[in-house]
């Protein structure tokens, strides 16, 4: 497993990121844009949401396949969309990575007995990874070198799919292709603990995962950190109330104990939305630099 030596200092509300090891030598990647929108990633979709967008490059002789960053949006497992991520597209394409933005089935409208619930969301993300492995070469990508990036509910999904291999393997993919995960400000590491908070937190969990606490446990990334022989590296971004930070740190500690290289970023003074919106935003010195450094160290 690749390691990353990083120190994080918080001073007067500004996060300072310092890389402690050199990046890999730059490869010759393709730079002619090529992409596709609303591509179905399952053979027989049951929802129009089982689609993804690809922002890649025109593959040609002399170009090395580019690593892939796969984005999974948030929205409480019941909202959100893969579109409207121009800053992330620009950031990762400019760094030489193929960028893939994934939609998945949503537990909406809340309370509808026919709404998709777990494991629908994670199955879809796993199927998207498997599809990318098989097809991203058409867009200049390397399907065996993947980073998962997700915010909020998407942070839960990339963490779960990153550590529990069966979501990718049941779709015919190889979980070892996921080499690193950026989990951005999710409260979904331990859904049993999340539901126990009651109120709106429990309602959110119940809507997306049903009423069975054993399902909450199975859908909790913290319970699967040891499921892969070669676990992915993690960058965990967390902020807000001490309870939120403690839950993220507990997952970080568990993942590290299972063999992952884990770094935790705690930006000060930013909202839940800010830590997502700022990724790739011009002039951002708090979130974009550590995400960039982590990605480059992990994917090369």
Q: What's the whole-number average pLDDT of the chain? A: 90
Q: What is the number of structural domains in the chain? A: 1
Domain assignment of residue 295, given as a range = 6-299
Residue 1 in domain? no
Query: What's the pTM value of the predicted model, to 2 decimals?
Result: 0.90
Percent of the chain with pLDDT over 90: 85
What CATH number does the domain containing 77 carry?
3.40.50.1820
Residue 217 in domain? yes
Residue 39 in domain? yes
Q: Residue range 132-143: average pLDDT?
A: 96
Residue 167 pLDDT level (bands cut at 50, 70, 90) = very high
Instruction: Say what the pLDDT of residue 219 is.
Output: 98
Residue 181 in domain? yes
Strand partners, 181: 148, 234
44-74 per-position pLDDT tens digit:
999 999 999 999 998 876 788 999 999 999 9
């Amino acid at each position: 497993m690749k390691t990353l030596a990083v120190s994080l200092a918080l001073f007067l509300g500004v996060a300072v990121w310092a890389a402690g090891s050199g990046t890999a030598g730059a490869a010759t990647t393709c730079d002619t844009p090529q992409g596709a929108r609303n591509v179905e990633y399952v053979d027989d979709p049951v929802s129009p949401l089982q689609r993804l967008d690809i922002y890649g490059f025109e593959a040609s002789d002399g170009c090395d396949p580019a690593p892939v960053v796969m984005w999974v949006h948030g929205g409480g497992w019941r909202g959100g969309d893969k579109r409207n991520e121009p800053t992330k597209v620009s950031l990762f394409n400019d760094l030489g990575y193929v960028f893939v933005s994934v939609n998945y089935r949503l537990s909406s409208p809340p309370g509808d007995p026919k709404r998709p619930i777990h494991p629908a969301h994670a199955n879809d993300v796993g199927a998207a990874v498997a599809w990318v492995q098989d097809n991203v070469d058409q867009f200049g990508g390397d399907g065996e070198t993947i980073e998962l990036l997700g915010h909020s509910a998407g942070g839960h999904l990339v963490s779960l799919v990153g550590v529990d291999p069966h979501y990718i393997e049941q779709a015919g993919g190889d979980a070892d292709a996921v080499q690193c995960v950026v989990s951005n400000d999710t409260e979904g590491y331990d859904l049993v603990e999340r539901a126990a908070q009651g109120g709106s937190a429990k309602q959110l969990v119940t809507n997306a995962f049903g009423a069975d606490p054993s399902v909450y446990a199975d859908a909790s990334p913290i319970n699967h950190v040891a499921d892969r022989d070669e676990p992915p590296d993690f960058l965990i971004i967390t902020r807000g109330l001490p309870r939120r930070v403690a839950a993220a740190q507990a997952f970080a500690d568990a993942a590290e104990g299972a063999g992952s290289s884990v770094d935790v970023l705690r930006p000060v003074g930013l909202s839940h939305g800010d830590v997502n919106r700022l990724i790739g935003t011009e002039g951002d010195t708090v979130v974009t630099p550590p995400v960039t450094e982590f990605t480059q160290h992990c994917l090369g």
